[in-house]
């Protein structure tokens, strides 16, 4: 009886070739080269992937296996901050036009961007302190404080307050206290104020998260790449864009709770009677 190859049988040479192909596919340099291939398809051309995927260091220049992650995380952060800066300008325009729904929608977009920026910092926590130090030496004298997106956001976000104040607060014959207390109506002014408050809060959380990342990576007592103690970053983490929105809560609590220290009847005792 003729002996043929069954459907599941393969020549030994085929298995060897298959194994070699798998090894080739998983070779880091080859994967890197495939990703950097010239764009040819519509999707690649539209997104300019050939330019985008060559913005990182060449494979042979990487300080270690984690430097690619380090560069990509920070580059993505810059892209998100670019989008956020673009959106903040639109928020300001719609504030001037008193288009409240558009303002809150766009601020909601900023909130989502800030959450993603904060969450993706967690990727950097998968690096060991030793690996981080090797990459840190590649930064020259650079630091995150030199981020163009970060510096632009620090500059333009506070300006939203002047526009909001002119359109919904003093320009409307009101105070922040009116919006939150005396004339509280849960209206457009309140909704926008709370959206601004959330933006301020999320930006602060991002800065605190970044501070803890530094603490985990290099420690808080060390000098930064600029020769300054990273303890100075704590002052930035405490910064608020819209202090009026934070202060009004203190004012209301102080007024409402002037007798908080007074001993009141126990709820538990009343319930047991």
pLDDT category at 4 given cuts 50, 70, 90 is very low
Instruction: Report which secondary-structure segment, H or E, holds 131.
Output: helix 129-136
Sign of CA dihedral 35, 41, 47, 51: positive
Average confidence (pLDDT) over 163-187: 95
**CA proximity to 121, closest of 162, 80, 160, 89:** 80
Most confident of the ranges 56-65, 144-153, 161-170: 161-170
Q: Which residue has the higher pLDDT, 112 or 27?
A: 112
With tokens 């405490």, the residue in question is 238
158, 199 Cβ separation under 8 angstroms: no
Query: What does the chain come to in residues?
Result: 273
Instruction: Identify the residue whose tokens are 């288009």.
Output: 99
pLDDT at 8 over 90: no
Domains and CATH numbers, the chain: 62-255 (1.20.58.480)
pLDDT band at 1 (very low <50, low <70, confident <90, very high): very low
* pLDDT for position 221: 67
Q: What is the pLDDT of residue 238?
A: 81
Burial of 179 (0-12, 13-18, 19+ CB in 10 A): buried
């Amino acid at each position: 009886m003729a002996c043929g190859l069954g459907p599941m049988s393969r020549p030994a040479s085929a298995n060897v070739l298959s194994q070699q192909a798998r090894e080739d596919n998983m070779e880091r340099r080859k994967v890197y080269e495939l990703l950097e291939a010239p764009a040819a398809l519509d999707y690649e051309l539209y997104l300019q992937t050939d330019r985008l995927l060559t913005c990182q260091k060449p494979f042979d220049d990487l300080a270690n296996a984690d430097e690619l992650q380090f560069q990509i995380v920070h580059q993505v952060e810059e892209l998100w901050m670019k989008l956020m800066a673009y959106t903040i300008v639109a928020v300001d325009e719609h504030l001037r036009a008193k288009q409240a729904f558009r303002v809150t929608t766009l601020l909601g977009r900023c909130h989502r961007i800030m959450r993603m920026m904060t969450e993706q910092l967690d990727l950097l926590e998968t690096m060991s302190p030793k690996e981080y130090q090797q990459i840190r030496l590649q930064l020259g004298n650079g630091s995150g404080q030199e981020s163009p997106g970060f510096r632009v956001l620090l500059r333009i976000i506070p300006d939203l307050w002047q526009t909001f104040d002119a359109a919904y607060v003093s320009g409307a014959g009101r105070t922040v206290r009116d919006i939150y207390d005396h004339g509280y109506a849960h209206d457009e002014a309140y909704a926008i104020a709370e959206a601004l408050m959330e933006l301020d809060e999320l930006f602060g959380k991002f800065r605190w998260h970044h501070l803890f990342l530094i603490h985990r990576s290099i420690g808080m007592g060390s000098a930064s790449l600029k020769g300054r103690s990273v303890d100075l970053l704590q002052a930035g983490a405490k910064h608020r864009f819209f202090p009026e929105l934070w202060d009004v809560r203190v004012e209301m609590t102080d007024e409402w709770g002037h007798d908080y220290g007074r001993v009141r009847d126990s709820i538990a005792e009343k319930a047991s009677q």
